[in-house]
Amino acid sequence: MPSITTSDGLDIHYKDWGSGRPIVFCHGWPLSSDDWDPQLLFFLNQGFRVVAADRRGHGRSTQTDSGHDMDHYADDLAAVVDHLDLRDAVFVGHSTGGGEVAHYLARHGQDRAAKAALIAAVPPLMVQTDANPGGLPEAVFDDLQAQLAANRSVFYRALAAGPFYGFNRPGREFDEAIVDNWWRQGMMGSAKAHYDGIVAFSQTDFTDDLTKITVPVLVMHGDDDQIVPIDDSALLSSKLLPNGELKVYPGFPHGMPTTEASTINADLLEFIRS
C-alpha cells in the first residue's frame, strides 16, 4: 500500500484503485480500510475510483501514542485527499468514520466534495450529557476501555461475535469468517490508538459540524444497531444536516456494510448517481 507522511511525521497508508469519479471511504473503530472490501470491489467494478486509508494507529499506519482525536483524524484525511488531488468526491464514513467525514467537511471545507454518506455513524454525540439526555452513559465507554485494557483479544472477539453484527439476536446465522476478519483487523492496530479512540468517537460533539455541511448527505442506519443506537444518532443527524436524507433499515445491525453489503451498495450507488 502507498502512504503519505503527515505534518507530525506519521505514515498513513491508503488504497487508491481505479480512475473514475472518486469515492473516499473512512472505516470504523478499531478496524482498517480492509473493512471496506465489499464496497471497494463493487464500486471499482462500477467504474469509480475508490480510496480508503488506515486511520492513524489502525491497520498498517503508524502506531503513534498521540493524536487519537477527531481533529487529527480529519487532518490526516485531508492530507490524503490533498495528496491525491481528489475533486468532486463522495465521502462515505461508517461508525467512527462517519464522524471523521463530518468533521473533515466542516473543518476543511467542501470544495473537494460533491456528496457524503454516513453509515451507522456516531454523530451527533454518543455520550449522555445534560444537552444530550438520550445518549449512552459515560460508564458504558469506561467499561469498553476497561475490557480493552484487560484483554483486547478476548474483548474484540466477543464484540464481533455478539452485538456488532447482531449475531447475538435469536435466529441470526453466525458467520465465523466475518468475526475472524473483524478480530484480525482490530489486532493489527495499536491498543493505545483504540483505547483513546473510544473517547474520540463517544465524546466528540459533531452537532455544529453537521449544521455546516451543505452538500447532499445520505444518512443510513439500521434500527437494530446495538452499538450506535439509531434514536440518538441518525434520527438527530438527519434533522441537523441542511441537505440530509435519512434511510432506515429494519433489523439491520451496526456492521451492515458487511452483512448487508448488497443492499447498502445498491442504495449508495443510487444516491451517488442521482
**Mind telling me the catalytic residues?**
95, 225, 254
| C-alpha–C-alpha distance, residues 40 and 187, integer Å | 22
The residue among 6, 11, 7 whose CA lies nearest residue 60 is 11
Let me know how long the chain is.
Answer: 274
| C-alpha–C-alpha distance, residues 34 and 218, integer Å | 22
| C-alpha–C-alpha distance, residues 29 and 8, integer Å | 22
Peptide bond into 124 cis (omega under 30): yes
Number of C-beta neighbours around residue 149 at 10 A: 11
Angle subtended by helix axes 70-84 and 96-108, to nearest 10 = 70
C-alpha cell at 3: 502512504
3-state SS, residue 259: helix
- Residue 190: enclosing H or E segment and its boundaries? none
DSSP single-letter state for residue 230:
G
Is the CB of residue 154 less than 8 Å from the CB of residue 23?
Answer: no
